Structure 1
Amino acid sequence: MAEITRRRTGEFLRELFRILMAAPDGMRASDALQVLASRFTLTPYEADNYESGSRRFEKIVRFATVDCVKAGWLVKDKGIWTITEAGQAAHAELPDPEAFYKRACKLYAEWKAAQPDAEGSAAEVAAAASAVDDVDNNAKAASVTFEEAEEQAWAEVSQYLRAMNPYDFQDLVADLLRAMSYHVTWVSPPGKDGGVDILAWPDALGTRPPRIKVQVKRQQQAVSVEGLRSFMAVLGDDDVGLFVCTGGFTKDAEAEARTQEKRRITLISLEKLFDLWDEHYDKLTDRARRRLPLRSIRFLAPGG
């Protein structure tokens, strides 16, 4: 039966790390895997497809990245893969592909042996940590399945939100604030809004500060520092500003918000908005839930 060697897997991983290190803000897993495949001549075994239609090459790489995540070298979030400083250091320290992958496997085994449900004496745990060839394939398979499902789910959710009517998206943000126990007193109707789309207060009468001013942007491009400053110009001394944008914010804009001394401003990206929606989903009204309906699917918790 055709197999793939540890060295070949290490070659894939090291090249994947090169690709991701060139994207310090992270890269979509599907894009990174596509670039990675273009840099190798795949064997018939690697290029073969499973019955599900997925290519074996991608499964091989995803399987191996589970070790890298537990080693602390790679972070995965909603389908975005990012190399950590520890990952960059390992890439520089271990140029040999086989040694690189072996180290990742060893760190995975040490992580697994240290889990609360790990059994055995200290000597047995140490032996398990050093037995890098004895990999828990079932746990890794569950982890990869969960990861791919999460990526697909987020791709659909983000596409749905980005395509939403701007005023429906604005109402969605207002519904979220209500679910978070804020009292929304005004939502901008279609037309010019003077830089503020939503007004909210901590109390129903609007007598207790701070007043919350919200600007909502459903756009593809990131908000620049100039765009952020335009919004901050409408904030009073007792106001708190929330800036919601589907396209995110430039690094300069994030730094500007983070270092403000007089203006209190919170930036909410599409990812953060979804996390808040999910967190407060049970407190949303039925009408609000219909704007972005979610359904939970139960998975066997990945052990890897």
Structure 2
Amino acid sequence: MMEKYVFGIDIGGTTVKCGLFTVKGELLEKWEIPTRTENNGAAILPDVADTVLKKIQEKGLAKEEIAGIGIGVPGPVNEQGEVPGAVNLHWGYVNLAGDMEKMTGLRVKAGNDANVAALGEMWKGGGAGCQSIVMVTLGTGVGGGIINNGKIVTGAHGAGGEIGHIHVTDDVECNCNCGNHGCLEQVTSATGITYLANRRLKKDDRPSMLRGGEVNAKTVFDAVKAGDELAKEVAEEFGKYLGTALASVACVADPEVFVIGGGVSKAGQIILDYIKKYYAQYAFMTCKQASFALAKLGNDAGIYGAAKMLL
């Protein structure tokens, strides 16, 4: 019997996103279950196995028709599908792929969620048609995923693509969540943009739309679009940090395209313009041709990538 279907699972700190796909990448159905992190996350994998097996039964599928299950998790994952620890899931060491195979009787492949999302964007999103991409996720933190010739770059310790922790400045007051100081994440994430804006508002008393209202990444870029000079300076600072860092990344990964996703990317084309300006200035000549695109799959990138990783 031909393999026709594949499951893509994206395990997050609060919910587990699940998708049933055809092997060609058509999403047939998606649903969510809560992530039960109590008791060191002991229920998470049995819950996932349970929801997959129920879906197979509900749809009347034969196990022979199913290629397997791809799973993305918020933490490092080695080539064997083992997770040394995942803070957000309250996990210590978990043999994710091995345990899931025992529970479901299906083939399982596991990967880091940011890397997996990058694979999804390469397959059916902002990087479609390319084989080498760097995905940058600008959310509460800064995540990254590197795909080279269609394969995820995990590295020796599963930290390949952790671009949020490239050191970019000594000019910040506090430490990053990782314990280091001056990481890219501290100045280009949603929280980082808020930090840069508040710092600039304190520095001088020029009028700005940002004064007296809520300051966050969205209000900063809304103000930029409205021509606010102070907000534009914040955007320049953001663009310089990120554009310069990606120029360095390009020297190592040399992607065809940088795909920018996460909540901050909802500001649209304008953020690409600020990043590209500094990227073009600092990139090695051979890498200057790399293009920039906005991510297209949103919250579904993880389930798409998980399915693709298994295929």
TM exceeding 0.5: no
**Higher RCO (CA-CA < 8 Å; seq separation 6+):** 2
Structure with more strand by fraction:
2
Structure with more helix by fraction:
1
Select the structure of larger CA radius of gyration. 1
TM-score under structure 1 normalisation? 0.29
